[in-house]
Structure 1
């Protein structure tokens, strides 16, 4: 079985690579800098070095693959991020359309079903549409809010503050990227699914930001208070950090565009994954905050 993993050093991709190795598969990994793979992993995978924004490289690198995990590498801070996400998947869509690769699993996001009005999540909506148009077998994993996004808040969490511009009382799915990797690997290894599928990956429970602050208070062993800011405050901070107006709006839109939105995928045994935020935060976040 020829399986291809993009962004193999990321939170999701690295987990998928590990599980495929444990399943007896030698995965093909597309990576810009092979040195970012640990030495033991490099010995056990088929490394294809190149840039995912290079369509010719991607098409060549996925040739003969039974299934490809596509993780969009476009940074939220890029100008024209939505269009760049759409263009970047061209190498994969060309290969699927030509029958040079079999199936694709996309790391998408809850909110992509809106298609418009959700900031850079609209980029994943465009990627979904591009993959769907190939007529190949494709699976869109629409994931909840990553636990690992909290790693960007370590300094302020050490000061006892959690900041958001989201609705503090609006529940939404929070998920461990490790669990997303488990789902992605399982679906890549399963050869029976056909057509277009969409699957939510929602973590064990929906959480409000107010509840997240309470969970972190217990897990970190220190009080964490919630600070709610306005979109204009975020916009001002992003522009002060040097981002363009367009990039700032793409970031703001990912939160603003989903206020009050009900996700298309319901919470079911299929969409629910096991890792709780409290345990993850105690293991991964607490040591960083303590330092």
Structure 2
């Protein structure tokens, strides 16, 4: 498939309706909007009736997004069976292990994927990039190839994947991880499975990786223009959208579902918000792309993967995340200020 074949879905439920219906149905996620075939029905609101006898497979269940998807599924009113693929089951809480079927191994392994997809209805797919991979395409496309073969062999009904914005833009051909993510989506789509690729800008949660420098130096660092306004999304909102889709067996076709935050902000604006929430001065400092890449290599990342992150940052600096128009349907509710208050502040003020 070429870089323009998947198209953007506009059939998303309004955020306020989703939040209200989630609360009414016993799934108080506090965020998100899922795709539905009818704007009158939340994908989570009637999950019990529509997911009876289904089995949902979750990859990367101990990761930031996957763990939230898993929690959402287990606390929903659905009676869908949940199966997880995990390398080390001991990393899952005991109360979770009691509620799921565990397939131990890597979701890059064809035999593991065959076990996981046998009798399954839908798959949550998240490709964890290998920091030591020889290329970004190997890390995303080659990793996903065995799963795609298993999808075809097992007649899987649907896939929801985590991907990136940028399809159809001039920057997409040389955008590192973004380019590889879009190629991964095309590979999944080539199986013919019903498919929703959740396309995201940068995650607000990535700021937390710099909690130490924010705490100790009052600074955070990236190679992107500090005055460039960009979308950013909280992983809780991504997980909520994914959950809604996984619990709704009625959708078909293959589409991208953009998942943006509520507003575009520059990193300088983020610094001012952090300063206010943390009650201490925080400054954004733009570093060179060379310095950015060198830092990853020094921490053990392969040159190819470090270059992939750098190319992605360059594409974002050139506006790849700004190509899509913001709409009420693709704008999620969690603001950066709210995320700072609820997620960053506890990390900094310990």
Q: TM-score, normalised by structure 1?
A: 0.94
1:63 aligns with 118
1:100 aligns with 155
2:65 aligns with 12
SS at match of 1:108: strand
1:45 aligns with 100
What's the offset of the Cα at 1:241? 3.3
Q: Check 1:243–1:73 CA distance in 2 against 1; reply closer, same or farther (3 A cut).
A: closer
Structure 2 CA distance for aligned equivalents of residues 95 and 7 of structure 1: 17
- Mapping of residues 102-121 of structure 1, within 5 Å: 102-111=157-166, 113-114=168-169, 115-121=172-178
- Given candidates 310, 314, 325, the residue that maps to 1:266 is 325
Give the number of aligned pairs: 291
Structure 2, gaps ≥5 residues long? 1-53
Structure 2 CA distance for aligned equivalents of residues 167 and 135 of structure 1: 40
Contact 1:55 1:89 in 2 (8 A): no
1:207-229 deviation digits (Å, cap 9, x = unpaired): 11111111111111111011111
Structure 1 CA distance for aligned equivalents of residues 110 and 336 of structure 2: 37
Structure 2 CA distance for aligned equivalents of residues 232 and 177 of structure 1: 28
1:136-186 deviation digits (Å, cap 9, x = unpaired): 111110012111111210111011112110121222211110111100010
Structure 2 CA distance for aligned equivalents of residues 148 and 234 of structure 1: 19
- Given candidates 113, 131, 143, the residue that maps to 1:88 is 143
Query: Cα RMSD between the aligned structures?
Result: 1.7
Structure 1 CA distance for aligned equivalents of residues 205 and 161 of structure 2: 19
Contact 2:201 2:232 in 1 (8 A): yes
- Mapping of residues 1-291 of structure 1, within 5 Å: 1-21=54-74, 22-24=76-78, 25-111=80-166, 113-114=168-169, 115-158=172-215, 159-263=217-321, 264-291=323-350
What's the offset of the Cα at 1:120? 1.8
Structure 1 CA distance for aligned equivalents of residues 131 and 332 of structure 2: 26
What's the offset of the Cα at 1:71? 0.2
Structure 1 CA distance for aligned equivalents of residues 89 and 154 of structure 2: 28
Structure 1 CA distance for aligned equivalents of residues 148 and 258 of structure 2: 22
2:24 aligns with none
- Which structure's relative contact order is higher, taking Cα pairs within 8 Å and 6+ residues apart? 2
Deviates more, 1:101-110 or 1:51-60: 51-60
Structure 1 CA distance for aligned equivalents of residues 152 and 55 of structure 2: 18
Deviates more, 1:91-100 or 1:177-186: 91-100
What's the offset of the Cα at 1:116? 1.9
Structure 2 CA distance for aligned equivalents of residues 81 and 52 of structure 1: 17
Q: TM-score, normalised by structure 2?
A: 0.79
Structure 1 CA distance for aligned equivalents of residues 319 and 133 of structure 2: 25
Structure 1 CA distance for aligned equivalents of residues 348 and 254 of structure 2: 42
Runs of 4+ in 1 over 6 A off after TM superposition: none
Structure 1, gaps ≥5 residues long? none
Q: Check 1:213–1:3 CA distance in 2 against 1; reply closer, same or farther (3 A cut).
A: same
